[in-house]
Every structure is written in C-alpha cells, then in structure tokens.
Amino acid sequence: MGDLEHGVQTIAVCGELDLSTAPDLEGPLEQALESGEGSVLIDLSQCEFIDSTGIALIVRAWQRLDGGEDGRNLVLCSQNDQVRRVLEITGLELSIPVHLTRDEALAALTA
C-alpha cells in the first residue's frame, strides 16, 4: 500500500475509507510517519467514498507532520467529486493541499 517515490511516501487508498476500512490505511500511514523518510502523499484517486473516520485519520497524520523541523509535509490527491466535496465541506482542503493527480502532488512536494 505504501511506496517511496521521488523521496515521497505514497499511500494509495482504493474503494471506501470509512470505519471498517480505516485500519487498512492506519498501518501503512503509521509506518510512513514513523519512518522519518520523506513527505507523505495519500493518493485518494481510487477512493470512492470517505467518511469522518477517514477524515480524522488524515487530520491526525497531518497534525503529526505539520510544522515539523524536518520539513516533511502531507498532501492528498483525488479527482473523485464525492471525496473532494467531503474534503471541501470539512475544511480539510484549507489546511492540507489537495491535488487532482498523483503527478501534480509529487511535483508540488519535490519542487
């Protein structure tokens, strides 16, 4: 689920990110955060639905990285209208950069 691409820890989410599937993201996300290696990209391009459990998991990860002295960042990418709408409604996109594609997100992190 996680890859190191261009110095960025990339974790792809497929299907739904909700109460029953959040543990599938939590493990790889925890490993990426603890590794101390690179920024973190959560790729939601294959995610079809996200609920408050998924949002909370992303927010906790962002809080752990944000403002750290090591310069690591967290970004998201998604083209799914429902997922982007949830990110917008919750205000998450005001704090965490959300890109349309993985390539755009990687470019932003490696610029």
pLDDT of residue 1: 47
User: Which residue segment(s) compose the domain that 35 sits in?
Assistant: 2-110
Q: Which of 46, 45, 39, 36 is closest to 9 using CA atoms?
A: 39
How far is 2 from 68, CA to CA, in rounded Å?
A: 21
The tens digit of pLDDT for each residue in 5-32 reads: 667 999 999 999 999 999 999 999 999 9
The tens digit of pLDDT for each residue in 47-95 reads: 999 999 999 999 999 998 876 667 889 999 999 999 999 999 999 999 9
Number of domains into which the chain is organized: 1
Question: What is the CATH classification number for the domain harbouring 10?
Answer: 3.30.750.24
Could you tell me the pTM of the whole model?
A: 0.91
